[in-house]
Structure formats: structure tokens, C-alpha cells
């Protein structure tokens, strides 16, 4: 081996060490465990929050990293939820962890099929087509009443205990919470590995300049479809998790409202930033929770105001805003 490789140049440090774990990356998980210990009465809310983070994380991979503009991500959330719902309701399969894997698979298949057609388009056309896909799936679930329960959905799903031991108790949601935290942690490690890989970097290349990616010989559309399928699988897991922890599925899984919410969560937290999903989901759910208590009729006004402020003053979301403050602080310290 040569003593001094060009890779040792200080200019390469940022890229060479980018994937290293930082101390503050333990924070979300410490907060997650702390929440479990401190708020035993809010664990249902907590599980819902964790599901939302996972859903937002899946969207971040497609929207934030690969630049796939989609308003129809609930299509995959719903596909995962109904996979879990139908398999368990009819007693075909009730083991929760394998159910989530099947939910991922079901959503990924829809992701590949739709992505293959959709990802030929870009911008507004793509946006409209993702909406259409979601609407088609929702209407299919509505019409296939005999299998999906139609408008009423499927209630009282008989999900088996986790590891054959821990029951999902509807009154005390500690199993739901810890299970969701575990699933989120695994999926997060997967996404984190992915985005720091050469594949993840090429996705950012496609987002920044698809034409140049073509010109350097990258199989752009294939990469986009693969990314879309992985993102769909993660959204499917989020949907499956939602179905398992609530023990029901209904058409709201495919709602535009749900797709728009996760979009807002990501914008709020900061897209393309890995932790934006966490910050955005927490900000959104906490805002929703407290504003709805304070102003039950007009809480969305507060949310709207917040979004306007983000759009005007913090284009990169809360996390981007904090990053900018931190950088300003750091440069000021360097130059007294």
C-alpha cells in the first residue's frame, strides 16, 4: 500500500467520514425510550407518531433524495395496511413481523408496476399520476367490498402476539409502542445505509441533474424505479404497522389527507435530511395535539400559519433552519 493516498487529502474528509455515526444520532432513540418511561398514558399517541415518522422517512427517500415529486404516497401506506388487514382478518396469516414483510412486498410490487409507467414523467404530470394511482387503489378497495369490507373496512384484526408473547392490548399500548419503535429503528438503519451508499449518492445526482446523470451513463430510470419500490415498501411497512397497532383497516389508509399530511410533515421537518422526518412528525403531531385542545375548531389555522412561515423563512424546514443557525454560530466563533 502506498503511504499517502489521494483519499487522505483533507478535502476528502467530509465525504469519507459522512456515514460515521455522530453522538447526537443517539438522541431520537433516547427520547423514544424516555417517552416510554415518562408518559405511559400517551403510548397510543406515541405509536401513532412513530408510524408517522416511518411513513415520512419513506417519502423522504423518494422525494427528498431522488426528487420524485409525489402526492400519492398513501397508495403504498394503504397497500401495506390492506395486506395486513386482509391476511389477518381472514385468518390466513396473523404473525405480526412476517405480516409487515408481506406488507412491504405488496407495496413494493405496486411501486414497481406503477413506477415503471409513472417515472417516465416528471413534475406536475408525475404529481397528478401519483394522485390518480392512489385514487384508483382507494376506489378498488371501496368496490371490492366482499374482500376489503368496502367503506366500513375490516375491524378487530386478530393479530398474533409479537414473538408469540407480547399481546397488542387496545387499552394499554406499551407493546404497540415498543414494537413500533423497534420497526422504525430497523427501517431507519436501512434507509441510512442506503442514502450514504453509492446508490444513494446517485439518487441525489438524479435529483440535482437527471440530464447529466444520463450523460455519464447512469441507468436513470431503473434507479428511480428501484428507489420508488424501496420507498413504497417502507411506506407499506408503515401502513402495516398502522393496521396492526390499531387492529383495523379502513379506506382512510388511502386518503389524500394522509398523503398530504406526510408531505407537510416532511416539508416542516426538512426534506432530504434523514432526520427531517423525525423533527417534522414530532412538530406536526405535537402541534396538532395541543392546538386541537386549545382551539378545537380552528387548529389547522395554526398549522397553516406555521407552514407559511416555513415557506417564507425556512425553505429547508425546521432542521434546515437549525443547521443554518448552527453554521452561523460556528463561523462567528472562528472569526472573532
Partner 1 sequence: MTEPRLQTQGLSRHFGALKAVQNIDFALDAGARHALIGPNGAGKTTFINLLTGVLAPSQGRVLLSGRDITATGQAERVKLGVARTFQINRLFRGLSVLENVSMSVAERRGVASSMLSAIGRRSDVIADSMQLLETLKLADVASHRVSELPYGRQRLIELAITIGLKPNVLLLDEPAAGVPSAESHIILDAIDGLPKDIAVLIIEHDMDVVFRFAKRVTVMVGGAIFAEGTPREIEANPEVRAVYLGQAAQNPTHG
Q: Nearest distance from residue 79's CB to partner 1, in Å?
A: 23
H-type helices in 209-250, by residue range?
210-215, 220-246
Q: Nearest distance from residue 10's CB to partner 1, in Å?
A: 8
Q: For residues 251 and 135, is the Cβ–Cβ distance under 8 A?
A: no
Q: Nearest distance from residue 120's CB to partner 1, in Å?
A: 15
Structure-block grid coordinates of residue 190: 436501512
Q: Nearest distance from residue 64's CB to partner 1, in Å?
A: 12
Q: Nearest distance from residue 15's CB to partner 1, in Å?
A: 5
Residues contacting residue 129 through CB under 8 Å, at least 6 positions apart: 72, 117, 118, 121
- Nearest CB to partner 1, comparing residues 52 and 227: 227
- Nearest CB to partner 1, comparing residues 217 and 296: 217
Could you tell me which of 310, 313, 309, 284 has the C-alpha nearest to residue 299? 284
Q: For residues 137 and 110, is the Cβ–Cβ distance under 8 A?
A: yes
Residues contacting residue 127 through CB under 8 Å, at least 6 positions apart: 69, 70, 71
- Nearest CB to partner 1, comparing residues 81 and 213: 213
- Nearest CB to partner 1, comparing residues 98 and 209: 209
Residue ranges binding partner 1 (CB under 8 A): 5-7, 9, 11-20, 193-194, 196-202, 204-205, 208-209, 211-219, 223
The Cα–Cα gap between 151 and 173 comes to 26
Q: Given CA atoms 325, 330, 333, 334 in this order, what sign does their dihedral have?
A: negative
- Nearest CB to partner 1, comparing residues 18 and 329: 18
Amino acid at each position: 500500500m502506498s503511504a499517502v493516498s489521494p483519499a487522505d487529502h483533507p478535502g476528502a474528509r467530509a465525504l469519507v467520514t459522512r456515514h460515521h455515526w455522530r453522538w447526537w444520532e443517539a438522541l431520537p432513540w433516547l427520547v423514544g425510550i424516555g417517552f416510554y418511561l415518562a408518559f405511559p398514558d400517551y403510548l397510543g399517541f406515541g405509536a401513532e407518531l412513530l408510524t408517522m415518522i416511518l411513513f415520512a422517512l419513506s417519502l423522504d427517500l423518494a422525494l427528498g433524495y431522488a426528487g420524485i415529486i409525489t402526492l400519492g404516497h398513501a397508495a403504498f401506506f394503504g397497500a401495506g395496511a390492506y395486506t395486513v388487514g386482509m391476511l389477518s382478518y381472514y385468518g390466513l396469516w396473523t404473525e405480526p413481523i412476517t405480516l409487515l414483510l408481506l406488507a412491504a412486498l405488496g407495496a413494493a410490487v405496486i411501486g414497481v408496476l406503477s413506477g415503471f409507467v409513472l417515472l417516465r414523467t416528471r413534475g406536475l404530470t408525475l404529481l397528478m399520476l401519483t394522485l390518480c394511482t392512489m385514487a384508483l387503489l382507494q376506489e378498488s378497495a371501496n368496490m371490492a367490498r366482499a374482500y376489503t369490507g368496502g367503506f366500513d373496512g375490516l375491524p378487530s384484526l386478530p393479530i398474533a402476539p409479537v414473538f408469540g408473547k407480547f399481546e397488542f392490548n387496545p387499552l394499554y399500548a406499551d407493546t404497540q409502542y415498543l414494537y413500533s419503535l423497534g420497526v422504525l429503528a430497523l427501517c431507519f438503519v436501512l434507509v441510512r445505509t442506503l442514502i450514504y451508499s453509492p446508490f444513494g449518492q446517485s439518487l441525489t445526482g438524479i435529483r440535482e441533474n437527471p440530464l447529466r446523470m444520463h450523460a455519464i451513463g447512469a441507468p436513470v430510470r431503473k434507479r428511480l424505479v428501484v428507489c420508488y419500490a424501496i420507498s413504497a415498501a417502507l411506506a407499506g411497512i408503515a401502513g402495516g404497522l398502522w393496521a396492526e397497532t390499531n387492529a383495523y383497516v379502513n379506506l382512510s389508509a388511502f386518503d389524500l389527507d394522509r398523503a398530504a399530511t406526510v408531505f407537510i410533515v416532511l416539508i416542516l421537518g426538512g426534506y432530504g435530511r434523514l432526520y427531517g422526518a423525525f423533527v417534522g412528525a414530532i412538530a406536526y403531531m405535537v402541534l396538532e395535539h395541543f392546538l386541537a385542545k386549545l382551539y378545537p375548531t380552528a387548529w389547522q389555522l395554526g398549522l397553516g400559519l406555521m407552514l407559511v412561515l416555513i415557506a417564507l423563512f425556512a425553505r429547508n424546514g425546521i432542521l434546515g433552519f437549525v443547521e443554518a443557525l448552527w453554521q452561523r454560530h460556528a463561523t462567528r466563533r472562528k472569526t472573532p
